[in-house]
Structure 1
Amino acid sequence: MTLLLAQLLVALQHADGQFPSGGFAFSQGLEASSSFAGLLGPFDFADFVATQIRHRWAGADRVALVRAHRLAGDLEALAELDREVEASTFVAGLRSGSRRNGMALLTTHERIATRGAAVYRAMIRKGVACGHLPVVQGLVWQALDLDEATAVAIGGYQTVASLATAAVRLGVIGAIDAQKVVAQTLPAIQAAARRAVIDDEPLRSFTPLCEIAVALHGVATGQRLFSN
């Protein structure tokens, strides 16, 4: 019981939105998708979140996180997985967002002396690794002795919570309604988390409208709140 409570407290610390993970500059395509709603079709926040969880996070980010966690600090293998994430992320805005978020999270973990963080950050700075967010999540949460299921739960929750925060900042939805969407999405995270991941499972995602919106966002002029 004492060990489970200790792990729960660590999980709460690292899932907390106040943890300095550096993801505030990116909306994971939410701003782009909402901005181009007139061109790409109606925008609904709940549908957007559900699509991101089912068709991006479940088959790509979750799989990368699990595979990284299982590598148990093998930094060379992590770098190879990192390059796989890079190659599988087609749109430049999503690639750069994932890399910058991953580097921000890794920098925080280097400063709090999480095992492996400083060495892997040095590898990224040398160009040996990319530093994509789910790979870094798998590395640091495994180093903190969080089990695979807990790491996946944190990753899924943070994905939805960050989208909710971005939506409120953009004025897409109010804070209370955003939390209703978060609650509605938790069962989808749980369902995805139950699906087994084999050690060399390929990364799969299919969010074409979001990717088109992010590509357009990258070349559009005018004021914007987020980088993607």
Structure 2
Amino acid sequence: MNQPDPLELAALLCSRLCHDLLSPVGALTNGLELLADERDPDMRERCMDLLEQSARTSADKLKFFRLAFGAAGGFGESVPVDEARKVTEALVGDAKRVTLDWSLSADRLPKGAVKVLLNFAQIGLDALVRGGTLAIGAERRDGASEIVVRASGPRIAFDETIGRALENRLQPGELTSRTSAAYMIAQLAAQAGGGLQFMLSDDALVLGAVLPEG
């Protein structure tokens, strides 16, 4: 496909982020409405618990999005791995029924590599519709960042258009809010002189990237 207009891509990414935030923010609004009308002390306490959970989920998603799509991570060219781990752990914790297996040997990764890793994590998590294990590994070797994310579980849900976006093979009309994040990291990888790939089976989705540094 032809290169999309940057404004179109930005708009699609914004649509994706708004879609992902709509549920927890909507729960906050509903909880506040219930709290305003509720007089029973036990029910008010339950409303407060739901509000706290929704607020935490919203904050977790915003922190994740800042690092996965924005300019978070400071002014340097690399990001501490602990930052990426914290936002991923929060995202997985909100998802339930998913176990995170984190294995990174580096203390820091280039910003582009962190964006790819976090977006891989989001894609893998979305694929685990019935729960499972999200295994994340990365290392810096021979002047490149190598990233592998494996989502394994009893059922894997993966849209083939996302796969085409990862491999920069989207057809006209297939760039949507759903595929925009995968397309974005495919462009990041291409600009770095690297590439992305995936492998899908009945019980696992494996996502891989090699991103030359410098």
Q: TM-score, normalised by structure 2?
A: 0.25
Larger relative contact order, structure 1 or 2 (CA cutoff 8 Å, min sep 6): 1
Q: Which has the larger radius of gyration?
A: 2
More strand by share: 2
More helix by share: 1
Q: TM-score, normalised by structure 1?
A: 0.24
